[in-house]
Amino acid sequence: MSAATIATWGICAAATAGVILRPFRWPEAIWAVLGAALLLLLGLMPFAAAAGAVGKGLDVYLFLIGMMLLSETAREQGLFDWLAAAAAAHARGSTLRLFALVYATGIITTTFLSNDATAVVLTPAVYAAARKAKADPLPMLLACALVANAASFVLPISNPANLVLYGGKMPPLGQWFGAFALPSLAAIAVTFLLLRWSERARLAGACEAEIAREPLSSGGKAALAGIAATAIVLLVVSALDLPLGLPTCIAGAATTLLVCALAQRSPLVPARAVSWSVLPLVAGLFVLVEALDRTGVIGLVAQGLRAAAQASPAAGAASAGTILAFASNLMNNLPAGLIASEAVAQAHPPRLIVDALLIGVDLGPNLSITGSLATILWLQAIRREGEEIGFWRFLRTGVVTMVPALTAALAARLLLG
């Protein structure tokens, strides 16, 4: 093994650790960008290769921009407050009912808008609902984070990582449902039951039943219509097997411009509030994955997949999905999914193994606080509300919920054959 390979692995590992642990409480993006910059400065990666790696993330950047614009526009127009009051009123004084409403809404949002939308769009509304109902917001916020990953393989569009793993060649919806309907149901149900059990002390008691509800403004109605229209656009685009990024970005920008015109506000107001740092974070992660690819790591992973498929497809699927689930927490599921995607392209394993890898990369990140891009976006959303959840607090919840849910989902997929 060459010194350059060892140095590349060390830099990638250090950058990933920085993203996960956030030393000095610096933003996650700083560590990813620093790692990528160090690879270039030390000559471990050509500039052209790094630029090409950044370019691979274009569809992801556009998707995130559209979703973040939708979220900030809705926030500006009071849509989240209105939704919060509606949810709190329907809870009718029951904290458990409010928790169930939040989780059900998260399933719908993740299914039709993606897990990133649940993190960016739904989380602020849930926090507002908990505050209006005078309930402990932590279980509700955790519900947003966990359902964003638990429901992220109901549809191909439920998680951008699905598109990455299948290399843009998604199976038909009928085949998708045949493979993932039962595993999705298992993951969603097990996560809900165990999260409710683990947070039972915080969910005990009643919450506020009488909530003042202001009428939704015209700008808020336009923002809600824009979110609904975006969901329809994503379903259509996904059915046509086209990239999701540009349509999402256009829908988000169009909604922002329309709403701001109705409200007679500058579109720069919501644009300034967007957490733009997530874009260099994603770009840095793409560069780190490209660097690992150049050292032969992906070739080794492909060899492992071929060997597992030859020995026993079922056992190989279970082990591959489990390993990728835990690896996603060590390096974030976006780079883990990219590595798995490249390895699948080289190894051509059976569909059962690919499906198990998808379950692992989607559901595995529920273990740790920086396991997925959606959870990082969720972290940024709750920090804006003045809340903070530490690594160990999230890990304790993740151990209780993720491991049984992953076992149930993989078992369901293997049962289908």
pLDDT digits (tens, 9 = 90+) for 47-75: 999 999 899 888 888 988 988 898 788 87
**What pLDDT sits at residue 217?**
85
Q: Which two tokens stand for residue 260?
A: 């701001």
Residues 6+ apart with CB under 8 A from 133: 87, 88, 91, 95, 98, 207, 208, 211
pLDDT above 70 (res 167): no
Residue 172 has pLDDT above 60, yes or no: yes
pLDDT value at residue 285: 85
Residue 154 confidence (pLDDT):
92
> Is residue 144 over pLDDT 90?
yes
- Look at 79-83, 96-100, 147-151, 404-408 and tell me which has the smallest mean pLDDT: 79-83
Instruction: For 127-136, write each residue's pLDDT tens digit.
Output: 888 888 888 9
- The two tokens of residue 339 are 């590595």
CA contacts within 13 A on the Cβ side of 361: 29
pLDDT of residue 45: 92
Q: Which of 226, 285, 216 is nearest to 66 (CA)?
A: 226
370: nearest Cα among 282, 273, 288, 272: 282
Q: Which residue has the higher pLDDT, 305 or 88?
A: 305
Mention every residue, 6+ apart, whose C-beta is less than 8 A from residue 215.
none
In this prediction, what percent of the chain has a pLDDT beyond 70? Answer: 97
For residue 273, the SS3 value is helix
User: Which pLDDT does position 95 carry in this prediction?
Assistant: 92
Confidence of residue 170 (pLDDT cuts 50, 70, 90): low
Pick 412 or 266 by higher pLDDT. Answer: 412
∠ CA 160-393-326, rounded to 5° = 45
Q: What number of other Cβ atoms are within 10 A of residue 303's Cβ?
A: 13
Q: Is the pLDDT of residue 169 over 70?
A: no
Distance set, CA 187 to CA 36, 313, 406 (Å): 35, 22, 7
pLDDT band at 410 (very low <50, low <70, confident <90, very high): very high
Tens digits of residue pLDDT in 229-283: 888 887 788 777 777 789 989 999 999 999 989 888 888 888 888 888 889 988 9
Helices (DSSP H) in 57-114: which residue ranges? 58-76, 79-91, 95-113
Please list, in sequence order, all residues whose beta carbon lies within 8 angstroms of the beta carbon of residue 81, skipping any fewer than 6 positions away. 128, 132, 214
85 touches 214 (CB < 8 A): yes
pTM of the prediction? 0.83
